[in-house]
Amino acid sequence: MILTSIWNLIYIIQRSLFYNNHGYKYMHRNVRQQNNISINYFESMDQFEETYRTFLHSFLKNYLSISNSRNISLNYCPPIPPDLRGPLTVNEVPIDFSLRMNSSYHHDVKFGGYYQPKTCVARHKVAIIVPYRDRREILRHFLFHTHQILQRQQLDYRIYVCEQAFNKTFNKGIVMNSCFKEILKFQPDTPCFIMHDVDLLLIDDRNMYTCPTFPRHLSVAIDKFRFYLPYTSLVGGVLGMKYFPDKRGFSVFYLAMRREHYLLVNGYSTEYWGWGGEDDDMYARIISKELKVERPPASIARYKMLKHTHQKLNPARMKFLRTAQTRINSDGVNNVKYHLLSTSFYHLYTHFLIDVGEAPK
Ligand code: NGS
């Protein structure tokens, strides 16, 4: 730092001595005409500038790499986060809690809804995918509540709100798949995805949002179902899936990463327009690829479901469910069609606005 400051100072003095209002070229020409010594001097000035630039560049590179890897000297966070509280009550959202403005309620969360523990290196890096449309109050509640928990779980996480644009029939499968692809463009090293319905609030922070060995269904016990799992093949609500990034990066996304869960099952089916069925279809995919579904104990995997108006039921969902296994390789993340309309960064979330097209007539 000191060396660079001295170097900067010399550079500024040099510039103020030899640069005037006419700029560098003007000075260069005039002094050239005067004598050869000056020419040599300016040649050395060029060298000086070049050396300065190289030095500054290398300094910035090193400085940035040191500041980015600030955690190198820190230890890993403990396997069991010390601040977990167990069962939680759901608090009202304060009136001044704003969805888009900087929130004073989660001051440790960085722009874009990103967090990493300050005092230790997170053991788990997680992307939370929240498919969304038109439930502003519910989203407020979800963000207010969930950020607190994920911080206590000492995760390195980012919340992505993936919004379907326009007031057309909802297609959760396309929203999930497109969001998954956009996240991998944005953060190619994301190892773990949690697909999270916006209306579910976790009410026991021991239910860790970590990367599972198998796909993990996290919302086992929901108040709406009196805290019982309605049927064993249910994987809707909150589902975690592991992603093993390939060292060679995003360019091999479709080729070399089939071994990991989301791509192995080809993501969600894109055929379900309206409410219901896409999660049951996902279960068929998981099972047919010989993966298991893990579940944490119902005593901690507890959720409160926020009340909201329901979407239009999909009358064709049973028809598609019957052919779920035959469509795995031809319908999913490998051929999802969408347009990303915008990417925005708010204090508490990264926002993708997605045009999924229209349901076939
Ligand atoms: C089933 C739906 C699932 C849904 C589950 C729970 O009936 O998509 O209810 O829904 N399957 C079909 O319709 C084929 S919930 O009450 O939690 O919104 O996830």
Instruction: Report how far ligand 1's centroid is from the alpha carbon of 132 (Å).
Output: 17
pLDDT of residue 243: 65
For residue 78, what are its two tokens?
């403990």
Q: What is the pLDDT of residues 225-282, one digit of tens each?
A: 999 999 998 887 777 777 655 443 322 221 112 247 898 999 999 999 999 999 999 9
Q: Which residue has its alpha carbon closest to ligand 1 atom 4?
A: 276
Pocket test for ligand 1, best of 227, 279, 306 (most atoms within 8 A of CB): 279
Q: Which residue has its alpha carbon closest to ligand 1 atom 13?
A: 276
Answer for the pair 258, 208: CB distance below 8 angstroms, yes or no.
no
For residue 60, what are its two tokens?
């910035």
Answer for the pair 341, 355: CB distance below 8 angstroms, yes or no.
yes
Instruction: Report how far ligand 1's centroid is from the alpha carbon of 159 (Å).
Output: 24
C-alpha span between 160 and 113 (Å, rounded):
8
Q: What are phi and psi of 162, to 5 degrees?
A: -110, 105
User: Both ends of the chain: CA-CA distance in Å?
Assistant: 65
Instruction: Report how far ligand 1's centroid is from the alpha carbon of 288 (Å).
Output: 20
Q: Give residues (CB < 6 A) around ligand 1.
A: 236, 276-277, 279-280, 317, 321
pLDDT of residue 297: 95
pLDDT of residue 40: 39
Pocket test for ligand 1, best of 280, 293, 319 (most atoms within 8 A of CB): 280
Instruction: Report how far ligand 1's centroid is from the alpha carbon of 20 (Å).
Output: 74
pLDDT of residue 245: 54
Mean pLDDT by 10 residues, the chain (361 residues): 46 40 32 36 44 46 46 85 97 91 88 96 93 95 97 97 96 96 92 92 95 85 94 82 51 30 93 95 92 90 92 94 96 97 97 97 84
For every residue of 109-175, DSSP letters joined together read SBTTTEE--SSSB-S-EEEEEEEESS-HHHHHHHHHHHHHHHHHTT-EEEEEEEEEPSSS---HHHH
Q: Which residue has its alpha carbon closest to ligand 1 atom 11?
A: 277
Which atom of ligand 1 is closest in space to residue 318's alpha carbon?
14
C-alpha span between 122 and 71 (Å, rounded):
9
Instruction: Report how far ligand 1's centroid is from the alpha carbon of 279 (Å).
Output: 8
For residue 325, what are its two tokens?
């296994």
Instruction: Report how far ligand 1's centroid is from the alpha carbon of 223 (Å).
Output: 15
pLDDT of residue 246: 43
Site of tokens 């992603």: 243
Q: What single DSSP character describes residue 233? A: T
Instruction: Report how far ligand 1's centroid is from the alpha carbon of 277 (Å).
Output: 6
Instruction: Output Rg (C-alpha) for the chain, integer angstroms.
Output: 27
pLDDT of residue 102: 78
For residue 30, what are its two tokens?
């005039």
Instruction: Report how far ligand 1's centroid is from the alpha carbon of 285 (Å).
Output: 16
Beta bridge partners of 201: 304
Answer for the pair 269, 283: CB distance below 8 angstroms, yes or no.
no
pLDDT of residue 353: 98
C-alpha span between 101 and 133 (Å, rounded):
19
Q: Which residue has its alpha carbon closest to ligand 1 atom 6?
A: 236
Answer for the pair 304, 90: CB distance below 8 angstroms, yes or no.
yes
The 10 Å Cβ neighbour count of residue 352 is 26
Answer for the pair 78, 121: CB distance below 8 angstroms, yes or no.
no
C-alpha span between 274 and 203 (Å, rounded):
28
